């Protein structure tokens, strides 16, 4: 910056500022703290599904943020918690696995609703890792400043973080500051992905996820946890103006099939319509989406079935 009083030329900026940085950042934390909401907000695109229900994210989702000075490669993960059953155990393993071999760990917690049991598991794994960690306290749109300060104090005693950044992923508050803090942690190096790449998963996977998200949002109780979605076909019509998708919703029991379909098919219709609108936004074309519902007895407890369904 030029100083108007003595008209000195600007100070030369530090060398490091000119060097392009790139690296991997794992987003880890308890379930439902806003990890996926933050990723979508950072990228400005929806690649990872979110919902008010815990355990929405089941796989590792990679998202690439391209900045003029850096490439930040985020790994969104399922929530870390005390898991029971094969599916949840697998989900936690995915999350813990994503903490290894990254350049930085972004630990996200809910500033409003602490989750001591999950946080304790998280801290234990952080202690074992030598990777620098940044703590982000999310949902500050719901908390008063004095309460926030005391939470920051508590966390500073639990682990040595490189920085603590309170944000609201939903409102976008301080998200830029968090991104800059993360960028500072990355090593100097060339980009890993070409400029147009924002994720490593195909559109058909994200389409299945969007259907799953609508089930999370439009059905209650245990239904979301008993469902998996597969894409049977994903093709274009002759003129490439329309994307045709056939997908199957797998449930564990006959009674769940009835709930997903709803009265005269009304529930399935609203799930399909809501998903179609989001998939159309992603592919930038009109979409014809046909949903089937199939009972696959107790798939979430069957390791072979889990693998078949992509977990």
Q: Which of 56, 71, 118, 181 binds ligand GDP (CB under 6 A)?
A: 56
Radius of gyration in angstroms for the set of CA atoms belonging to the chain, rounded to a whole number: 22
Nearest residue (CB) to ligand GDP, 96 versus 169: 169
170 binds ligand GDP (CB under 6 A): yes
Please say whether the beta carbons of 23 and 187 come within 8 A: yes
Q: Which of 46, 88, 139, 276 binds ligand GDP (CB under 6 A)?
A: 139
Nearer to ligand GDP, 51 or 227 (CB): 51
Question: Would you count residue 142 as binding ligand GDP (CB under 6 A)?
Answer: yes
How near is the Cβ of 57 to Mg ion at its closest, in Å? Answer: 3
51 binds ligand GDP (CB under 6 A): yes
Residue 36, interface with Mg ion (CB under 5 A)?
yes
From residue 20 to residue 39, the character string flagging contacts with ligand GDP as x (rule: CB under 6 A) and all else as - is: -----------xxxxxxx--
> Which of 49-57, 128-136, 154-162, 298-306 is the region at the interface with ligand GDP (rule: CB under 6 A)?
49-57
Give the burial string for 210-226 (b: 16+ CB within 10 Å, else e).
Answer: bbbbbbbbbbeeebbbb
Q: Does 55 bind Mg ion (CB under 5 A)?
A: no
- Span near Mg ion by CB under 5 A; candidates 54-62, 126-134, 218-226, 247-255: 54-62
Residue 168 binds which entry of Mg ion, ligand GDP, none, CB below 5-8 Å type-dependent? ligand GDP
d(CA 266, CA 264): 6
- Let me know: does 25 contact 73? Beta carbons within 8 Å: yes
Least Å distance, CB 291 to ligand GDP, is 22
Q: Closer CB to Mg ion, residue 36 or residue 138?
A: 36
Q: CB under 5 to 8 A by kind: which of Mg ion, ligand GDP, none does 166 bind? A: none
Residue whose token pair is 């999950």: 118
Q: Does 124 bind ligand GDP (CB under 6 A)?
A: no
Query: What does residue 166 show for φ and ψ, rounded to 5 degrees?
Result: -75, 140
Cα 282 to Cα 45, 81, 111, 275, 276: the distances in Å are 9, 31, 31, 11, 10
Based on the shown chain and the rule CB under 5 A, indicate whether residue 57 belongs to the binding site for Mg ion. Answer: yes
Q: In degrees rounded to 5, what are phi and psi of residue 172? A: 90, 5
Q: Which residue has the tokens 């155990």?
A: 89
For ligand GDP, which is the closer residue by CB, 107 or 261? 107
Q: Find the binder of ligand GDP among 63, 79, 224, 272 (CB under 6 A).
A: 79
Name the 3-class secondary structure at 302.
Answer: coil
* Only segment of 128-136, 145-153, 165-173, 188-196 that touches ligand GDP (CB under 6 A): 165-173
**Residue among 30 and 243 whose Cβ is closer to ligand GDP:** 30
By CB under 6 A, tell whether 138 contacts ligand GDP: yes
Residues of the shown chain interacting with ligand GDP in the complex, contacts defined by CB under 6 A? 31-37, 50-52, 56-57, 79, 138-139, 141-142, 168-170
Residues of the shown chain interacting with Mg ion in the complex, contacts defined by CB under 5 A? 35-36, 57
């Amino acid at each position: 910056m030029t100083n108007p009083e003595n008209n000195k030329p600007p100070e030369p900026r530090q060398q490091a500022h000119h060097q392009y940085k790139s690296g991997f950042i794992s987003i880890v934390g308890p379930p439902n703290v806003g990890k996926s909401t933050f990723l979508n907000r950072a990228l400005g695109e929806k690649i990872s599904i979110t919902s008010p229900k815990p355990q929405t994210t089941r796989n590792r989702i990679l998202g690439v943020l391209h900045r003029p000075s850096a490439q930040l490669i985020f790994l969104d993960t399922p929530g870390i918690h005390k898991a029971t059953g094969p599916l949840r155990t697998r989900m936690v393993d995915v999350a813990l696995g994503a903490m290894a071999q990254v350049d930085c760990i972004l630990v996200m917690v809910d500033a409003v609703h602490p989750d001591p049991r999950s946080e304790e598991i998280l801290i234990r794994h952080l202690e074992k890792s030598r990777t620098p960690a940044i703590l982000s306290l999310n949902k500050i749109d719901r908390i008063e400043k004095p309460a926030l300060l005391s939470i920051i104090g508590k966390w500073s005693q639990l682990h040595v973080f490189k920085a603590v950044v309170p944000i609201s992923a939903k409102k976008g508050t301080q998200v830029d500051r968090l991104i800059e803090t993360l960028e500072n942690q990355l090593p100097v190096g060339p980009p890993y992905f070409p400029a147009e790449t924002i994720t490593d998963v195909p559109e058909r996977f994200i389409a299945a996820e969007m259907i799953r998200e609508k089930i999370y949002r439009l059905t209650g109780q245990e239904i979301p946890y008993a469902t998996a979605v597969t894409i049977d076909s994903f093709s274009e019509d002759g003129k490439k103006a329309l994307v045709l998708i056939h997908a199957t919703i797998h449930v564990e029991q006959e009674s769940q099939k009835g709930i997903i379909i709803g009265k005269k098919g009304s529930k399935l219709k609203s799930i399909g319509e809501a998903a179609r609108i989001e998939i159309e936004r992603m592919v930038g074309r009109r979409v014809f989406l046909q949903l089937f519902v199939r009972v696959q007895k107790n798939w979430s407890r069957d390791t072979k079935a889990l693998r078949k369904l992509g977990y």
